[in-house]
Amino acid sequence: MLSATLLAACSANDGRQAIPTDKAVEAQVEQVLKGMTLEEKAGQLVQLNISVLEDDTREAIDPAKLDKIIGQYKVGSILNVMHDAAHSREQTAAMVRQIQEKSMEAIGIPCIYGLDMIHGATYLTDGSFYPQEVNLAATFNREYPRLMGRAMAYETRAAQVPWVFSPVMDLGRDPRWPRIWESFGEDPYLQAEMAREETLAIQGSDPNHIGLENAAVSIKHFMGYGVPVSGKDRTPAIIAENDLREKFFAPFLECFRAGALTAMVNSASINGIPTHANAILLSGWVKEQLGWDGMLVTDWADIDNLFQRDHVAADKHEAVAMGINAGIDMIMDPYDPECCNVIVDLVKDGRISQARLDDAVRRVLRLKVRLGLFENPLWDKEYPEFASEQFGRESYAAAVESEVLLKNEDNILPLKGTERILVTGPNANSLRALNGGWSYRWQGAADEFAPQYNTILEALEARFPGKVRFEPGVSYLPGDDWQAEDASGLGKAVAAARGADVIVACVGENSYCETPGNMDDLNLSANQKALVKGLAATGKPIVLILNEGRPRLIGDIEPLAKAVVDVMLPSNYGGDALAALLAGDENFSGKLPFTYSKHINALHTYDYKVSEHRETMEGSYNYDAVMDVQWPFGFGLSYTSFAYSKLKVSQADFKAGDVLKVSVDVTNTGTRAGKEAVLLYSSDLVASLIPDVKRLRGFEKVSIEPGQTVTVNFELPASRLAFVGADGRWRLEKGDFRLSCGGQSAMLSCTETHIWDTPNI
């Protein structure tokens, strides 16, 4: 539970309204609100899954069900796809049109339809897919979330859908968690920067007037979802109060201030309080402190979880009252339209006040007004860029910059093109594995829906014609168990390796999503490790390709490989990108957006406390020491080399209101052009709370020709060096700091302590 000191320190508004008030928008909201019945208001607060409208074919809407859900219950929102499978743009638009026409006829208020578009238009069979967010983070290039966000909004709108449940900004700080690949990695600053860019690209620059090529976002999952104590999805988290404010809130704060219109709430709990019932976080931190007038929506059936799973409510009525009174505005109650009647009952008996009801309804109506749905519940507009070649080129470029070269002994890569190549492993010929979850189906199904794209095998065969032989060795079994494997071909793969010059072993994970992705052992599967060990016994060099949604432990097989590439989940063009990189047609520039752990009982993040790493003698700590990890956050190799020099800071002494100007020279000392992600870190050398060993404070991606030197500039507000103290208040303390970048460092000093009175800086 949040302490009294933190609550007191965080009670004030920071003076900045997240979304500017538009008088015309507010007037329209009030005009609609005053004409609504109690039943119509209740219906606006409920969102149902499309399955409640499906006919017996599960491919079309049943008019009688539609009349019941919209006409009788007045439901204001629908989500998801029929039969857990993506549909074409035309099918989706036709379905939404039918729902919208009924909504306008029955209640005169447009329905708002929402889809889980996670890495592009991922619930349209003919939409454009981009690499998953974890890959975009690995580019350290803000351009790619902008490009993906624009394409996602454009193509979603083309299907008559104005709302996407994206971006995801849960900090991926526990590799056991099965949704780490949906996020932009483990660092709050990287997460905040990338999520803000995607939010602005999806919504556009004016959140009060969303255009027909933009959509509303639902930033998620607010918050602390990605660090469950058990490592399992939807299970409780214990988070220090200062970390909650300083790290986990940071990306959400950035996106609220960028105009995010809706947010989806964490399905689990923090410090014993289910987030859906946490009034301090939902109403306090977001609505009151930020003056945010957007809408909070639950995740899937999470109001029911308050009484069915968490046992903080006795029944449905108590759970609904608890959630709405805490700040929930729309209940995603997938299968139960009776939730509408529950809300009516609760208002009539006073357990939900008329004021709270109207506030929630205003927020729903405001979203619909801002989207222009009252004037244009449906829109007749051409979308000539839908599924365009340009979107495909962007996706390919993002995949190239996201795949990370982690090892390259004896410069085995790039391949010369003359080698006999054995391609093996369960991920070699799987488009599903390249895309991951939320791809055509909830659990992923790219092989079924997108055969026109190349798997790793197909891309390598195209790039090295006549040089590739394929023996999977280990294969994924069809069905619901994504971990099920068949290792009966292991012997054939090892035998084939004896006739090869180089082995490309593609290992990792099959696709999964959410709770089905829970697992009990972070080690790569025994079958796949046995395959790599058998291949290594032939003495032939191995290029190990990691195609996985989270960093699976490979400490025992990594030494057996000459080269290691982590492609993560690069989507439909990931195989083509990898083939070009292995051939040297493209150059590696990706860097890990997470710490790749080496030991199961040592799952660290890069910003660990200085006291976690002990050097040679008791009590002696080294800021330059590195935990025993497989690869650190920010690590990634290239086919060229870069040298850093001349790190400069504009001033040696600073105060809280200063902006530090930092520059560093980066020289391409190799023989080919390359891109480098330049990462700037800070270290607080003495603080009233044990400081993190270092924190990422800036990043820029630059292209550098051989022999060229580029000066990279950063502007670092001194306030970014502040931290949340034991009293729950932001503080920048007098003392020494160190900035570091590419092995260069500079010392500087804060000359006075500053403590902020507002909760957000």
Residues marked as catalytic = 299
| Whole-number Å distance between alpha carbons of 537 and 445 | 35
CA proximity to 532, closest of 568, 560, 553:
560
Contact 385, 392 (CB under 8 A): no
Longest dimension (CA), the chain: 79
Contact 364, 44 (CB under 8 A): yes
Distances (CA, A) of 626 to 325, 457, 609: 46, 36, 12
Helix axes 574-583, 456-463, angle to 10 degrees: 40
User: Half-sphere exposure (CA, 13 Å, Cβ side) for 203?
Assistant: 30
Q: Can you read off the two tokens belonging to residue 495?
A: 């035998």
Report the C-alpha dihedral over residues 271, 274, 276, 278, rounded to 10 degrees: -40
Helices (H), 244-312: 250-257, 279, 302-308
| Whole-number Å distance between alpha carbons of 643 and 555 | 29
Q: Can you read off the two tokens belonging to residue 249?
A: 């809130």
| Whole-number Å distance between alpha carbons of 731 and 752 | 11
Backbone Cα Rg of the chain: 26
Helix axes 316-326, 354-370, angle to 10 degrees: 70
| Whole-number Å distance between alpha carbons of 172 and 186 | 4
| Whole-number Å distance between alpha carbons of 761 and 755 | 11
Q: Can you read off the two tokens belonging to residue 427?
A: 């991920």
Q: Can you read off the two tokens belonging to residue 202?
A: 């999806």
| Whole-number Å distance between alpha carbons of 182 and 168 | 6
